[in-house]
Structure formats: structure tokens, C-alpha cells
Amino acid sequence: MHPLIVLPARFGSTRIPGKLLSKINRDPLIAHVARRVLSFGLDAEVVVATDDDRIEEAASGTGVRIVRTRSDHKSGTERVAEVVQSREFAGFDRVLNIQADQPLLPETAAVGALNQLDRGFPLGTTAAPLLPAHELDRNRVKVTVDAGGRATLFSRHIPPETQQIGSEMGVFLHLGVYSYTRESLLEWVSLPPTEPEFQDGLEQLRPLHHGMPIGVSILNEPTDSGIDTPQDLANAQHSLVTTRTNA
């Protein structure tokens, strides 16, 4: 069966208030991301899940479906789980969560995460080569991957043990894409929260802490991880203008 793709979209943002409504080339960020995901051409149902009237209005007309969700979710995965548990979407067993602040996300990132489910992982995600300029940037989340393609740690810094000579682990830039089987998604949100996820603000540390394996697809080329700062927003504006000019 074709997958369900959900873009969890909340209005609140610590660094950029109302981030998903920020204008890029006159259109709100959420509209750019929705259209980009639709352009992938995947045989999938694409949904924007939000609890905010302003985001619903901004995403309307892009071609994606809008689903209203509760306002008390602590993470994007919890919001995705609410969508999946509704009667309307109960038939989907493969689910992809794409963070709604990634207007430059490549199609290979979505496909790669889904492929981890085919490899037998209950959860999947995607990473890209880590640029030297981003090694000390806490806004860029790092993922440590072992020789079998399994995530061993998510962090905002580079773990010292991965820098040892002969280490079989590599450190990559983590992208905001998660794939789940229906069963593993519901298991994730049923797990008790962990202190590390709150300390670093990384929801993916919860399933990792509880022993759920996460397969990682690694892209060949560096790419952007999303918009977390005003500078990221300016860079996205420049990149999208350049892309349209060269198209």
C-alpha cells in the first residue's frame, strides 16, 4: 500500500515566532514545503496536520489535505500518531513524517527513509554528510551511525568516541524525516519520556533509549537540514530564487 506522508505543523517556534508562516518569495514557508513534497511524485497521501487556523489557511490551495489536530502535543511524532489513529487514515501501515520547515528537502531523503522499512527496520530516518562549518553548530543535529546503518546516537554535538582512530561509526547531519510502520509509530508514542530527549530537545532519543532500532539512509551529497534561525531563512530564500532562475 502507498504511504501516508504527514507534515506536522505547529505555529509556535522558539527562535523564529510563527516560522511556518514566514514569507519566502511571497509565499509562506509551509506552502513551499507542501508543494515540494507533492513534487516528489510519490504514490502517497500527503497531509498537513495542524492545530492552528493561520497554518491551515497558509497550506490551503497547495494540493495537500489539511487535518486538524489537538494543541497539546509535545512532538511532531505525537501529532502524526493522532492522524494515523483516526478512522480516516487507519488503513495506512507505512507512515512518513517530514518536518514542515524543510523547503529544500531532496526527494531522495524521503525515499531513503521509507527504504529503511523495507530493510526490516521498524523506524527509519535520513542523514547527509556533515560539513565542517556545521560541526559545532548546535542547531544542526548530528546522528552517529554504525557500520550496519543503524543509528546509535542523536546529539547536538559530535560524540568524542566517534573521533577515535579505527572507529566503525560515522557522524552525519540528521534530516527531519522519519518513517514508521503503523505498529512502531504507536509504540513510540506509548513509551515513557526520557530525560535526554528533554535536555537536547530531540524526540528521537526516546525510541533509541528504549531499544527501538532506527535505520539511517545516508545521502551522497550535503544538503540543508531545515530552518532554525533567521539566517537559515535568508539562505533558503536565496537558494529558492537561484533554483527558479536556473530552472
The model scores a pTM over 0.95: no
**Mean pLDDT confidence for 151-173:** 77
In this structure, of 8-22, 49-63, 90-104, 183-197, the range with the lowest mean pLDDT score is: 8-22
**Mean pLDDT confidence for 182-203:** 95
87-134 residue pLDDT tens: 999 999 999 999 999 999 999 999 999 999 999 999 999 999 999 999
Residue 48 · residue 116 · CB < 8 Å = no
> pLDDT category, 215, cuts 50, 70, 90?
very high
Q: Which domains does the chain show, CATH number per domain? A: 1-100 (3.90.550.10), 106-222 (3.90.550.10)
In this structure, of 4-13, 89-98, 139-148, 226-235, the range with the lowest mean pLDDT score is: 226-235
Query: What is the overall mean pLDDT for the chain?
Result: 91
